[in-house]
Structure 1
Amino acid sequence: MKNRKNLLLGVLLLFAIGLLGRAISLALPFLDYLIATILVGVLVGNTVGKPAWAKAGVETHKLWLEAGIVLLGASVAFDRIADAGATLLLLILGTVVIAVLSVELLSRHCFSITEKTGSLLAAGSSICGVSAVVAVAGSIDADESQIAYAAGTVLLFDTLTLIVYPMFWHAFSIPDKVFGIWAGLTMFSTGPATAVGFSVSDTAGEWAVLVKLARNALIGLTAAGYALYYLRNTNDCERTRKTGHLWQTFPKFVFGFLLLMLLATVGVIDANHVTSLEHASNWLFMLAFAGLGLELQLDELRETGFEPIAVVLVSFVVVSGSVLAVLHVVL
């Protein structure tokens, strides 16, 4: 009974932070409510702190994000993917490959970073943030300090891009579709990419989620590739155990997103239901981003070493700048 009560209280805290974010956005129209919600969460989490009684509920924020993305699938038209076709697929694969290689090369040849830490940084910055760090860490037997450095670096860039990307959109008047695809291709984690996309427009948000999910789906392939590289001298039992780990860490909510997109495309979900699902998705995102803000601890970000940040910064600037230039040409 107590656990259920704490769970409910934690969710109510997320809801209250979300409502405050909406109120701030109404008072400051230039600030989108999702970004405002994250900022309120960061402020509460780093001043008052995350109450013990709210911990269980706050930890559900990833579940709300995944549920919101699944419902969003109903509003993403299949013809958008068909229109983008091979071009979008090549952009996704090319961005991931370049990001992985650039971080690996910088880590190994320009900075004194251990091989496994460099691999975790490459996975986190190229696929899906901390989720990719955890997935690859389990495949290569990385230790806790290596995971902490990589995860801290990813979270730092998640925080920075939440602020910088909307500023770029305003400063350079980037078209909504281009901005959404750019965010989906280059931002590290699903939550920040979704928040930044929808802070611009529904079009930008839907493209950001669509492209980001496509990148996320490569987590299994990437983790498998790293596992094979680091498991060259291990036995068959160890390989079997780590293959199971790859499936456990795969983002299975992607299947729900694709299912609802398919049902909406064939007409099983009509326009009225799509609108209702969009509203429900927005409320779920509000809870998710309130929790995201609460979980961002500035003290932990300050503990991240200089070299991991330098490696990822150089790669990120090169990759994001190149991708934006290419998008302006091909779209």
Structure 2
Amino acid sequence: MVAGRRKVVPGLVLLCLGALLARSLSVLIGINELLLAIALGAVLVNTVGIPERFRHGTATYNIWLAAGIVLLGSSLTVGMIIEVGATVLLLLVAAVTLTLVTVEVLARNVAGVTDRFGSLLAAGAGICGVSAVAAVGGAVRAKEMHIAYAAGVVLLVDAVTIVVYPIVGAVLDLPDVVFGVWAGVSMLSTGPVVAVGFAHSEVAGQWATITKLARNALIGVVALGYASYYARRGAGGSTSVRMLWENFPKFVLGFLVLVGLASLGAFSPAQQDMISTVVDWLFLLAFVGLGTQIRTAELRATGITPALIVFAAVLLVSVLSLAAALVVL
């Protein structure tokens, strides 16, 4: 056991150094730190390569991903979901459903990618960005390269929307509640949603945060749904409790447990801040390792079409959800 632990140390140190470098570069040049973490890992593996003695440690990235997803549950409560109200919840569910269906259909019929890869893209665009990609990737046992690709696409969309949404909000002079809900139901990742919400106004920031967190709570349901679907398909259409449990993403269960504890008030604001910091670092470690799974030859074979499909779906849902929000709010 001791020898096994020693094997992971060099690679784990490499992940830590990559995470520190990604965060430092993000501060200096203003690019998303997770995108930089993936890029650093990808550059490393496609240039000098990863020596054998580091691979045991870099392969632990999936552990840090799962741990980060579980801890995300501490930031969500059932009350947050109820607080957004029936109208906003209906709009939220409609936007998520439209995004999932649009990406799934286009990915399978236009891009011609594998079903599991299409599901990763759909989850990332429809639920909560990188966290959903990681959760569904583990649930359906997707290829590491596809998880990294989908996560990279999500982060690129984030980079575009964090610039475009404030401009649209200002040009159209959107009401605070409308802008906040619109950002919450149609943007991908939590950080950009909160940022653009509060940049618009305090009220918009509050609505954006609450709406996005309510949407994030669907990650467990969607991951479990995808896990069950692919498990049944792998069993030739039949299913059993044992088979579902074997394919059930256990980290999603941990996520749901923490949502329950947070709903009961188990975490103080200071503890939630500390957990949030830990989650940030866990994801940085994970995405450096995830970047080492990217092979440029495989990416060239995948092409740009999957990324364009996600952008098209986000544009469609963004326009329709804004129109709906202006009508019902």
> What is the alpha-carbon distance in structure 1 between the residues aligned to residue 42 and residue 209 of structure 2?
22
Output the amino acid matched with 1:221: G
Name the structure 2 match of 1:55.
55
**Structure 1 position 5, deviation (Å):** 1.9
Name the structure 1 match of 2:215.
211
Name the structure 2 match of 1:84.
84
Name the structure 2 match of 1:159.
152
CA 1:200–1:258: 2 relative to 1, 3 Å: farther
Q: For each residue in 1:220-248, what CA deviation from the matched residue of structure 2 results, as whole angstroms up to 9, or x when unmatched?
A: 334545777898xx6xxx7136x644433
Q: For each residue in 1:143-182, what CA deviation from the matched residue of structure 2 results, as whole angstroms up to 9, or x when unmatched?
A: xxxx87xx86775443233123223212331667754543
Name the structure 2 match of 1:12.
13
User: SS at 1:124's partner residue?
Assistant: helix
CA contact (8 A) 1:45 1:294 kept: yes
- The gaps in structure 1 that reach 5 residues or longer are 138-146, 185-192
Give 1:289's match in structure 2, choosing from 278, 287, 301.
287
TM-score normalised by L of structure 2: 0.69
User: SS at 2:84's partner residue?
Assistant: helix
CA contact (8 A) 2:84 2:211 kept: no
What number of residue pairs does the alignment pair up? Answer: 301
> What is the alpha-carbon distance in structure 1 between the residues aligned to residue 195 and residue 86 of structure 2?
28
Give 1:170's match in structure 2, choosing from 163, 167, 170.
163
Name the structure 2 match of 1:300.
298
Further displaced range: 200-209 or 319-328: 200-209
| Aligned: 1:74 with 2:78 | no
Q: Name the Cα RMSD after superposition.
A: 4.2
Give 2:252's match in structure 1, choosing from 246, 251, 254.
254
Output the amino acid matched with 1:294: T
The 5 Å alignment of 1:177-256 reads 178-179=182-183, 181-184=185-188, 193=189, 211-222=215-226, 224=228, 239-240=238-239, 244-256=242-254
CA contact (8 A) 1:34 1:286 kept: yes
> What is the alpha-carbon distance in structure 2 between the residues aligned to residue 177 and residue 199 of structure 1?
13
Name the structure 1 match of 2:4.
3
CA 1:287–1:52: 2 relative to 1, 3 Å: same
TM-score normalised by L of structure 1: 0.68
- The gaps in structure 2 that reach 5 residues or longer are 124-131, 170-178, 199-204
CA 1:244–1:201: 2 relative to 1, 3 Å: farther
User: SS at 1:255's partner residue?
Assistant: helix
Identity of aligned residues (%): 30
**Structure 1 position 326, deviation (Å):** 4.4
Output the amino acid matched with 1:6: K
> What is the alpha-carbon distance in structure 2 between the residues aligned to residue 283 and residue 6 of structure 1?
22
